[in-house]
Amino acid sequence: MSGTFTKAMARNIFYGGAVFFFLLLVALTFDTMGGLPKSDNRANLTESVLRGKHIWETRNCIGCHTLLGEGAYFAPELGNVYPRRGAEFIKAWIKSQPTGTPGRRQMPNFNFTEQELDDIVAFLKYTSEINTQKWPPNIEG
């Protein structure tokens, strides 16, 4: 903060730096969007998957679980639950909630139809096939 470094210089560096790095972020965003078809599993984005995502959102699943590591840390990671447990286990598990075991963490029952359960499984299967650079480290999530 010597006398030669003036406020006007600091201001110019701020505006220059902010604009440059924001534009760089925008450019990288375009590049990322261009590369996504290779990694985001969009080929399997079926109607059932989209319905499953909508169910995932409207039951606020992210309020307890993580999905690809993002969300709450109260309940297991579900980005890889499909390979970990399989479709039938997932459906049976959701249907059997809450366990009611005293003192244990509880998941609500959402009274899903078979169709809705299939949609959720489809969404979780699609999610598990996204290329996540080999994350999580192992099947336990």
Partner 1 sequence: MKYSSQSVAMPYFIAAIGLFVGQIIFGLAMGLQYVVGDFLFPEIPFNVARMVHTNLLIVWLLFGFMGATYFLIPEEAETELYSPKLALLMFWIFLIAGAATILGYLLVPYSTLAEMTGNNILATMGREFLEQPLITKIGIVIVALAFLFNITMTMLKGRKTVISIVLLMGLWGLAIFFLFSFYNPGNLVKDKFYWWWVVHLWVEGVWELIMAAILAFVLIKVTGVDREVIEKWLYVIITLALVTGLIGTGHHYFWIGTPSYWQWLGSIFSALEPIPFFAMTVFAFNMVNRRRREHPNKAAVLWALGTGVMAFLGAGVWGFLHTLAPVNYYTHGSQITAAHGHMAFYGAYVLVVLTIISYAMPLLRGRAANGERAQVCEMWAFWLMTISMVFITLFLTAAGILQVWLQRVSDTPMPFMAVQDQISLFYWMRLWAGVVFAAGLVTYLASFFVKGDSKPLIHA
Site for partner 1 in 54-113 (CB under 8 A): 54, 56-64, 66-77, 98, 100-108, 110
- Judged by CB, which is closer to partner 1: 91, or 123? 123
- Judged by CB, which is closer to partner 1: 41, or 94? 41
**Strand, coil or helix: what is 70?**
strand
Binders of partner 1: how many residues, by CB under 8 A? 75
CA distances from 44 to 6, 11, 128 (A): 57, 49, 11
Residue owning tokens 């210089």: 9
Q: Binding string, 23-52, against partner 1, x = CB under 8 A?
A: -xx--xx-xxx-xx--xxxx--x---xx--
Q: Token pair for residue 17?
A: 């730096």
Distance separating the N- and C-terminal Cα atoms of the chain: 48
- Judged by CB, which is closer to partner 1: 7, or 114? 7
